[in-house]
Amino acid sequence: MCKILVFAGTTEGYQITEFLEEHQVRTHMCVATDYGSLRLAQTEYLTISHERMNQQEMEAFMGKEQFTQVIDATHPYAVEVTDNIKKACENTGIPYQRVLRGESAAPVEGDVVMVDSVEDAIDFLEGTQGNVLVTTGSKELGKFTRLTGYQERIYARVLSLPNVVEQCSQYGFQGAHLICMQGPFIKELNTAMLRQYNCRYLVTKEAGKNGGFEEKCQAAKDADAILVVIGRPRQEQGISVEACRQKLRELCNIKAEQKISLVGIGMGSKESMTVEAAKVCREAQCIIGGKRLVDAVAAPNQVVCYEYLSGKIKEYIDAHPEFERIVIALSGDVGFYSGARKLVEVLGEQVEVICGISSVVYFMSKIHQSWDDAAIVSAHGRECNLIHYIKSNKKTFSILGTRDGAACLARKLVDYGMNHVIMYVGEELSYDQEKILSGVPSEFVDYDSSVLSVVCVVNPQAKELPKHFRDREFIRGKAPMTKEEVRSLSVDKLEIPSDAICYDVGAGTGSVSMEMALQAYDGKVYAIEKKLEAVELIRKNQKALALDNLVVLEGLAPGAMEELEAPTHAFIGGSSGNLQEIVALLLQKNPGVRIVINCITLETVAEALGCIRTLPLEDVDIAQVTVAKSKELGAYHMMMGENPIYIISCKGAA
């Protein structure tokens, strides 16, 4: 049975002790002060003592209790204590393990003075003027009494213990010059103290991430104070808290049970997190996610991993069984355009999913708009036909995700004659630099927004879009146009879903392209036409009908199709004698593509039948359609027949 002795007094020591007690491993924790013993309560598996011991007393205690392992998690500046523990372990034959506090990975910015000792720090300050905030603790505070005018210049921050207060008072530190608090402290509090006491200098030890060193560095920079850093007394060999947990798990046969939580953290500020999300993040040993998200929630004593790819995240988790409580931080809400769906697939259904506040909920409340009647989409990292949604919805919300997202949308709205709508643009939501603007699109055509931006477009003229276009809605040119009855049947035979990728080969006036774009509003339509005059006409109709998912290409098929993405559906209205090659390339790009061919001449019908016989096609259907339209002759109406059309539909035999 394992019995572990932990010399604590640091965050690392408490973390290891909590880990052992949680897994019911008999543990004795030694701390240097009464204050240290208050952080954890004694239990059946945990005993705590706060008496200081010299080397001989340590040896006697270790020999009496017969510990399996000694963990030294004392402060990196407690050199004498570490030496005594190591010698006591050597003399008693008990395995010794040093746990090191990780040094800060953040670069020290601003005005910094590096010194080797407290004495060197005092020598530097002697030649300066201005107040000093000393955060090195009470143990060596007495040395600062040799600084000229120390009682007026120095503000000392120490633990709130009676004996500490009494000792500091004897040195001459009293009243406002003695700040009794327990750390580590956040940057904002450090900054406030520097400004409150008008401190020109901040003296600190390089106490690592868990000791709040990074927060002190940031505060000094924000308050325009000079940072005086006392370097670590010596280089040591040891392991991290995480490695220590893993070693103890193996030594004491502790079964690893990982709890993985996918947490929606809201917009990014701590204020936009739910209470549940904040609690889970606070209790985690490791935080994984994009850098912005991780930095928003990670505490100094937590391991972080900057990664957003689900496969890489799984690899990291599998490689670190020492972490029992893992949080994967996700932006906004886990159910709103989130990576949670993919992560659940990769990590398994046993992961915990904790919701957050989505950007749509937050932003719409800021602009005093309800969101239950809005079209909600995202253009972040994906193509999105926002124009379609804005035309057909009185309110459209979208995540943008690029610096020019708002400007690009504004230019399209102006180009499509929709400058009557109102754009609300929000960026850096929940952060101090949050910005919300509103106006007509022409006011945003050159706007450079943040990458973290969203938009809501209000269109009072929105109306439901038609199922099909009428012939009268098109700008007509010299090229013949497929009539609306034939278009309707042809597009119906294609069976186009909203996210289809469509080709219109030999597009002519583009009337079928427009119909396809209306159906595939979440996809894309490529109109391929060889005649420049017809291409220009298609573009005029595209602009008039505001079909933003239509791409017009001048060229002859099949060559003009080669570089395009694979189609799901294709309409062939003109082939210039290349029908066999066109269909073959379509099948090469997508063996399961659905195809509709319209033929006017019998020769084209024969060519199409040749494709059906020689190429892997199935589900073949051939229909002949003759449309007659009425024409007024005086007081009478006469039906005038159009040319018969053969509509051939099929799909690749994938």
DSSP letters for 567-606: PSEEEES--TT-HHHHHHHHHHH-TT-EEEEEE-SHHHHH
**Per-residue model confidence as pLDDT tens digits over 410-424:** 999 999 999 999 999
Q: Is the dihedral of CA 589, 593, 598, 604 positive or negative?
A: positive
**Per-residue model confidence as pLDDT tens digits over 493-511:** 999 999 999 999 999 989 9
Determine whether domain 360-458 maps to CATH 3.40.50.300: no
In this predicted structure, what is the pLDDT of residue 618? 95
Confidence of residue 428 (pLDDT cuts 50, 70, 90): very high
Tell me whether the CATH fold assigned to 112-230 matches the one assigned to 471-652.
yes
Cβ atoms within 10 Å of 644's Cβ, excluding its own: 11
Q: Give the torsion through C-alpha atoms of 375, 379, 380, 381, to 10 deg.
A: 140
User: Does residue 242 register a pLDDT over 90?
Assistant: no
**Per-residue model confidence as pLDDT tens digits over 157-175:** 998 888 899 999 999 999 9
CATH architecture of 471-652: 3-Layer(aba) Sandwich (3.40)
Specify the higher pLDDT residue, 372 or 102.
372
In this predicted structure, what is the pLDDT of residue 103? 56
Structure tokens at 371: 């969101």
- Average pLDDT of the chain? 90
Cβ atoms within 10 Å of 372's Cβ, excluding its own: 7
Determine whether domain 256-357 maps to CATH 3.30.559.10: no
Beta bridge partners of 5: 28, 70
Contact status, residue 408 vs residue 436, Cβ threshold 8 Å: no
User: Does residue 330 register a pLDDT over 90?
Assistant: yes
3-class secondary-structure state, position 259: strand
Q: Which among 5, 6, 12 has a CA at the least distance from the CA of 101?
A: 12
In this predicted structure, what is the pLDDT of residue 110? 55
In one-letter notation, the amino acid at residue 493 is K
User: If you average pLDDT over residues 556-575, what whole number do you get?
Assistant: 95
**Per-residue model confidence as pLDDT tens digits over 263-291:** 999 988 888 899 999 999 998 989 999 99
d(CA 517, CA 549): 6
**Per-residue model confidence as pLDDT tens digits over 509-539:** 899 999 999 999 999 999 999 999 999 999 9
Omega before 558 within 30 of 0, i.e. cis: yes
Give the rounded distance of the alpha carbon of 332 from its chain centre.
9
User: Does residue 546 register a pLDDT over 80?
Assistant: yes
The DSSP element (H or E) to which 89 belongs, if any, is helix 79-92
Structure tokens at 12: 């690392």
Please state which of the four CATH numbers 3.30.70.870, 3.40.50.720, 3.40.50.2000, 3.40.30.10 is assigned to the domain occupying 3-98. Answer: 3.40.50.720
User: Does residue 235 register a pLDDT over 70?
Assistant: no
Omega before 184 within 30 of 0, i.e. cis: yes
User: Does residue 352 register a pLDDT over 80?
Assistant: yes
d(CA 357, CA 89): 52
User: Does residue 105 register a pLDDT over 50?
Assistant: no
The topology under which CATH files domain 112-230 is Rossmann fold (3.40.50)
Radius of gyration of the chain (CA): 36
Residue with tokens 């947490």: 263
User: If you average pLDDT over residues 559-571, what whole number do you get?
Assistant: 96
Q: Which among 430, 431, 429, 421 has a CA at the least distance from the CA of 456?
A: 421
Confidence of residue 112 (pLDDT cuts 50, 70, 90): confident
For 637, residues 6+ apart whose C-beta sits below 8 A from its C-beta are: 630, 631
Label residue 316 exposed, middle or buried (CB < 10 Å: 0-12, 13-18, 19+): middle
User: Does residue 106 register a pLDDT over 50?
Assistant: no
Domain boundaries, the chain: 3-98, 112-230, 256-357, 360-458, 471-652
Instruction: Check: pTM over 0.75? Answer yes or no.
Output: no
User: If you average pLDDT over residues 600-626, what whole number do you get?
Assistant: 94
In one-letter notation, the amino acid at residue 611 is C
